[in-house]
Amino acid sequence: MGYSKSGQNARGILTRLYSRAFVMAEPDGSNRVAFVSIDIGMVSQRLRLEVLDRLQSKYGSLYRKDNVILSGTHTHSGPAGYFQYTVFVIASAGFSNRTFQYMVSGIVKSIEIAHANMKPGKIFINKGNVDGVQINRSPYSYLQNPESERARYSSNTDKEMVVLKMVDLNGDDLGLISWFAIHPVSMNSSNHLVNGDNMGYASYLFEQEKNRGHLPGHGPYVAAFASSNLGDVSPNILGPHCINTGEPCDNANSSCPIGGSDMCIAKGPGRDIFDSTQIIGKTLYQRAKELYTSASQEVTGPLASAHQWANMTDVTVWLNSTHSVKTCKPALGYSFAAGTIDGVGGLNFTQGMTEGGPFWDTIRDQLLGKPSEEIIECQKPKPILIPTGELSKPHPWHPDIVDVQIITLGSLAITAIPGEFTTMSGRRLREAVQAEFASYGMQNMTVVVSGLCNVYTHYITTYEEYQVQRYEAASTIYGPHTLSAYIQLFRGLAKAIATDTVANLSRGPEPPYFKQLQVPLTPNIVDRTPSGKTFGDVLEPLKPQYRVGEVAEVVFVGANPKNSAENQTHDTFLTVEKYENTSATWQIVYNDASWETRFYWHKGSLGQSKAAIEWHIPATAQPGLYRIRYFGHKRKQNLFQSPVILSFEGTSSTFTIAAT
């Protein structure tokens, strides 16, 4: 989920995706908040509603819509299929209940673990700049903002990282939350392996360091690298170049003289996408570690939370005491189809299109119906490609009802943003919310923009950025005044918290929960083996010996990895194991969450498939005897019976790593 690129299906795992939950409560347990950072593209409304439903049935009114924030890291290498609005159902090739239930269960489980592990402790906050990891991918849009406003900032991206350090009363480390504005798109749209991208790698490094001796995903310490106002921020810091000529294409339309916008692609700092992900992720990890180590300012004071549902298609925004403007029914503009320098659209649209064309207008009118004058007028200067707010079959194409939410921990306010704010949008919101708190007596609040929370509504640009209609503006679905509407709504929440009038806030209109969503068109078929083989048999064996820096690869008779979501006998697809002479046992040294391993699934015909496992042998690997194991689940069905899913495993021959 993320690039909306047809054919970009999952074909294996580089690293596991995690939900990282933090529960914080006042000493008497009365007020509490939960912040959850999840290795997914974004939180969908349906996901949030289902998680809250399960929490209510287990804990009653302890965890609620106002005091639980669910935030996606925005990795573009996680699964799709967990949305209820039609645009995202189409982009996901259906709603996969299997994926959805698995994600809900994982998120709820992480909250349950945090709930059960609570102990008295302290929180410290620190802030500092991170250099060399971001560029603004729409600098032309940014330059539309007033010069006087831009002059107040030294950069066209937000370089500040905010870090929360959590320790127990003995000073022992418990966890970290970091917020930073960067797109996790170091892994580009050519990637087919599930992983957490650069932010996931930063979490991985921090947790591996703090949980020494534990496999990834195990151990008590949790480090979340959460998203922020990343809308126009790319990690592909070498910038956009025409891949056919090598010329830079950092122009208003991100277009190349030969080949147009499809040729204009940004590159990361590494030799390939894996290397770029690690370079960016490692820099984030190292800076977070510095800020964490030196954090000394304690967060004290009460906890509070406020939430409203708002109909974002119909917000009246008061610009001053006499002038008001309105938000619009949602729509996607022409340049939405252009994509970005991090992932091009492929249909020869360009960014910055402020006028439509007869060819695509005719196709739109015939396929979807003509947009109304009202929506055309309201969304100007956006030329409408898809009038989503006027499409309701089989279900509405975009949300009307959107969550706005703030939780405060003493002098820290976390704003839960239902989409992707650009750099300047985030700055304006933070400043407005901070000023609102101050005007009601809460001075010097630190305001954090937490991105991709609760429901996904694409992008939010400033009014000025909206006028030039690059990708982010074309994807600002509620029209030119979307940001002003959010600022007004979040100021209302800040005022309610500051004046202790949260109880008087209107709940707002409740969001829908749709039945009968379109299921994926990929059928579940029975797994089969080549004749004379069984599941887990080795098809391509390992060599007897490897050296550090080489790749050990073994291929097994495989089965569809999706089966493992239904029968969870095994919690990894693979292990790399080392023989310990002293205990005469095999010890697991890597699993499928390790960065050194890669699991590939090669789909064959008639239910046959292969599982290829790679171990990229690191310099830290000790000499000795090793083996690789594969753990799978097969779908079996006898005539006139329901299918069953059965576990199996395979083991490679042993091999040695030679001392270098």
| Beta carbons within 8 Å of 402's beta carbon, 6+ residues apart | 309, 310, 311, 312, 418, 455, 457
At what angle are helices 482-498 and 423-439 packed, to 10 degrees?
Answer: 30
End-to-end CA separation in angstroms for the chain:
42
Give the 3-state secondary structure of residue 305: strand
Task: Give me the residue label for tokens 């010890």.
Answer: 587
Structure tokens at 406: 């703030």
3-18: buried (b, 16+ CB within 10 Å) or exposed (e) per residue? bbbeebebebbbbbbb
The answer to whether residues 599 and 573 touch, using CB atoms and an 8 Å cutoff, is yes
Contacts from 23-27 at CB under 8 Å and sequence distance 24+? 23/111, 23/114, 23/115, 23/118, 24/123, 24/303, 24/409, 25/118, 25/303, 26/302, 26/303, 27/120
Catalytic-role residue among 234, 255, 564, 652: 234
Rounded distance between C-alpha atoms, residue 405 and residue 283, angstroms:
31
Structure tokens at 179: 């917020």
The answer to whether residues 437 and 413 touch, using CB atoms and an 8 Å cutoff, is yes
Task: Give me the residue label for tokens 């089989």.
Answer: 394
Of 183, 348, 366, 164, the residue nearest 254 (C-alpha): 348
At what angle are helices 45-59 and 97-116 packed, to 10 degrees?
Answer: 40
Structure tokens at 128: 């500092």
Extract the runs of DSSP E, i.e. beta strands, from 334-458: 339-340, 343-344, 384-386, 401-409, 412-416, 420-421, 446-450
The answer to whether residues 388 and 477 touch, using CB atoms and an 8 Å cutoff, is yes
The answer to whether residues 575 and 628 touch, using CB atoms and an 8 Å cutoff, is yes
**The dihedral of CA 215, 217, 220, 226: what is its sign?**
positive
The answer to whether residues 92 and 81 touch, using CB atoms and an 8 Å cutoff, is yes
Q: Is 234 a catalytic residue?
A: yes
| Beta carbons within 8 Å of 504's beta carbon, 6+ residues apart | 496
Task: Give me the residue label for tokens 């809308």.
Answer: 231
What's the one-letter identity of residue 198? Answer: N
Half-sphere exposure of residue 550: CA atoms within 13 angstroms, side-chain side: 14
Catalytic positions, written as ranges: 234
